[in-house]
Structure 1
Amino acid sequence: MSRMVLIKLIIDLVMTILMLVEMAYYITGNRVHENVGVTLLGLFIAHIFLNRRWFSSLLQGKHNFRRILQIGLNILFLAAMAVMMVSGILISSDLFPFIPVKNDMIFRQMHVQMAYWGFIIMAVHIGFSWGMILNSVRRMTGITGISRIRTMGLRILAVLIVFYGVYASFEREIGSKLTIYNPFGSWSNDDSAIKFVIDYLSIMGIYISGTHYALKFVQQQGQRQI
């Protein structure tokens, strides 16, 4: 694995972790939320810079179904993150309190809803690259052979994560948070940081697994038609 690929993977991993921390606003508090948000903004800019060749090659090469989907997804993710971060700066009360904003409730609504949309799109984005991520992990750990038992075990784990993720999605009312803004949110006093992480990782698992296996299915269908 090249040094640049490793740097990209580390940045993407840290961004994913920080995005989870950002979703836990009621656990971390506002000051931590804003500081992590600024760090996430810096890493997002670094991510774009390291992948700048992708933008210059948008109109080059063959545009098959997978590539068109990925381009559309990346543009949506870029837009969601941009709106989330700009609105976050405008409603800041700790780091940027000097920015005067009227009708900040509108920006709060944009910030919260784009955060949830960005979270979902990020998971789908990871799903597109999941095969590459697995291959990188195999090379790093020295796993070269194919094991049916390991493959079956990972697939069973994926199914369990998806089932729990669906349950957590309903419990956390993710669907309504994508469409309806509630300034007070829905939070349980009994909720713990560990349960929050498990729930949101499982919710991510729905979209990572779903995207990964859907793309594999489409690829297999295409190979059968050749």
Structure 2
Amino acid sequence: MKKINYVKFALDLVMGLLFVLFFNKNVFGGLKFHEIAGLVFAGAYITHILLNWGWVKRVTLKMFDRRLSWRVRGSYALNFLLMVSMTFIIVSGILISHVLFPNLNVGNENWFKMTHISVSFLVLALIGIHVGLHWQWVVNMCEKMTSVKKSRAWMRYVAQGLTLIILLFGLYQINQTSYVTQLKSSVSVFGMNTQQSGFEGKGAFKGGEQGGTREGRPSGGGGQSGFDRGGKGGNVSFVSVILTYTGIMGVFVIVAYYLKKLSVYRKRKTVANPN
């Protein structure tokens, strides 16, 4: 296997861990970590795109070719949506920065704050779908690095058991964090002002600036708001945050993986029995 695949795997793993940590501003010292790690994430994401630029270029040039499969077109559309959303999160994060870029002044900072939050919840789902569609690649990489073959019977049972546990845990966290409400807001927030956006419940920036600290209500992730921007921070378990939002992402991974598996099964059945 090409060494570049190991680099891609490690990079994707780091990006995934960083992204779920961003859902709580109180981990690792608070806002300072969030903004510095955000720049690291931005650099990693640009590197990710460059490492996969060959595929992007090939598909872009063939986009109007009728022979290009709908599966590839769908993957391309998903990646494009991810790129646009991720770029918005990075740029809006810089515009509302209070630590690294405190002198940047934007016309409607509250709008950027709200959309920065809401689009992040959408991206969490998109990343999960992206991983689910490429799950076989992840499994192959893990097998190469650990020399453990999933083909063994006991491994299949363990994998199925873990899948069920992750699905149930993820659904529980979706309910606990009001994730569906946040996801709906990510669709409707554009074109609205901050009073209309509905971010006055869980996970929102509650109130204004008070002594340099922005307050929020708890909504999961270790008993803290997904976007609680406490100035001091450091009082939240990063493990709890990772488990909460990785669990939510896992729901989308599982759904996307099995939908793809079902699609492949139906296609093979149609080919085998055309009539």
The TM-score range, normalised by the shorter chain, is: over 0.9
Residues 1:155 and 2:160 are matched in the alignment:
yes
How many Å separate the matches in 1 of 2:68 and 2:108?
43
SS of corresponding position for 1:119 = helix
Alignment of 1:127-146 (within 5 A): 127-144=132-149, 146=151
User: Which runs of no fewer than 5 residues in structure 1 stay unpaired?
Assistant: none
Aligned twin of 1:116 = 121
Aligned twin of 1:22 = 22
**Shift in Å, 1:210:** 1.0
Alignment of 1:196-215 (within 5 A): 196-215=241-260
2:20–2:241 CA contact under 8 A, matched in 1:
no
**Shift in Å, 1:112:** 0.6
Code of the residue aligned with 2:241 in structure 1: it is F
Code of the residue aligned with 1:175 in structure 2: it is V
**Shift in Å, 1:145:** 6.7
CA displacement 1:58-115 (0-9 Å, x = unmatched): 2437432322221111011101101111111000011011212122001111111111
CA displacement 1:4-46 (0-9 Å, x = unmatched): 1111111111100110111122334111110010000010111
Structure scoring higher RCO (CA < 8 A, sep ≥ 6) equals 2
2:173–2:244 CA contact under 8 A, matched in 1:
yes
Cα distance change of structure 1 residues 141 and 126 upon mapping to structure 2, 3 Å threshold: same
- Range 189-198 or range 168-177, more displaced: 189-198
| RMSD over aligned Cα atoms | 1.8
Aligned twin of 2:46 = 45
Aligned length: 226
Code of the residue aligned with 2:14 in structure 1: it is V
User: Which runs of no fewer than 5 residues in structure 2 stay unpaired?
Assistant: 186-197, 207-215, 224-235
**Shift in Å, 1:177:** 1.4
Aligned twin of 2:4 = 4
Task: Write 1 or 2 for the structure with the bigger share of helix.
Answer: 1
How many Å separate the matches in 2 of 1:71 and 1:188?
34
Aligned twin of 1:187 = 218
Query: Is the radius of gyration larger for structure 1 or structure 2?
Result: 2
1:8–1:47 CA contact under 8 A, matched in 2:
yes
How many Å separate the matches in 1 of 2:219 and 2:94?
27
CA displacement 1:121-152 (0-9 Å, x = unmatched): 11111111111110111122223472122112
Paired-residue identity, %: 25
